[in-house]
Amino acid sequence: MSEQMKEALEKYKGKIVDDYHSWSCVKKTPIEDNPRVLEFKKGLEMKETRHYFKFLTANGSSKSVHSFIVKEDKVIRGKEWKKGDILMAASFQSPALNFIRGNIFKDYEIRWVGTAI
């Protein structure tokens, strides 16, 4: 994985946590002082699959898929996807392949509950 991809994925993960922080806090307390946000951050993980980076969130012992990021420019199921495209989850194993929700190398919005349009 390139350094540019690593940095973009870390920034993406940070945006997810920042959105959760602004949603969950009445007062703008630092993330380090909010156990709820720290727990969310700790449960946010990335798994690498064949075509995607899959972001998971944890709620207790259960996990759900937040989003998928396309790893490389590729044709998947007859559609062209660009490296860094953000896809919404259709299921735990696969993304919705109707359209992209953004690209981590460009301008995009993200929500802690999932992708934004």
Among the listed residues 105, 101, 104, the one whose alpha carbon sits nearest the alpha carbon of residue 115: 101
Convert 6-50 into a string of H (helix), E (strand) and C (coil): HHHHHHHHHHHHHHHHHHHCCCCCCHHHCHHHHHHHHHCEEEECC
The structural domain count of the chain equals: 1
pLDDT (mean) for 87-105:
91
Is 116's pLDDT higher than 80?
Answer: no
**Could you tell me the pLDDT band of residue 8, with boundaries at 50, 70 and 90?**
very high
Q: Provide the domain limits for residue 96.
A: 3-115
pLDDT recorded at residue 105: 94
pLDDT band, very low/low/confident/very high, at 21 (cuts 50, 70, 90)? confident
CA distance 20 to 25: 8
How do residues 33-57 score in pLDDT, each as one tens digit? 778 888 888 889 999 999 999 999 8
Give the model's pLDDT for residue 114: 66
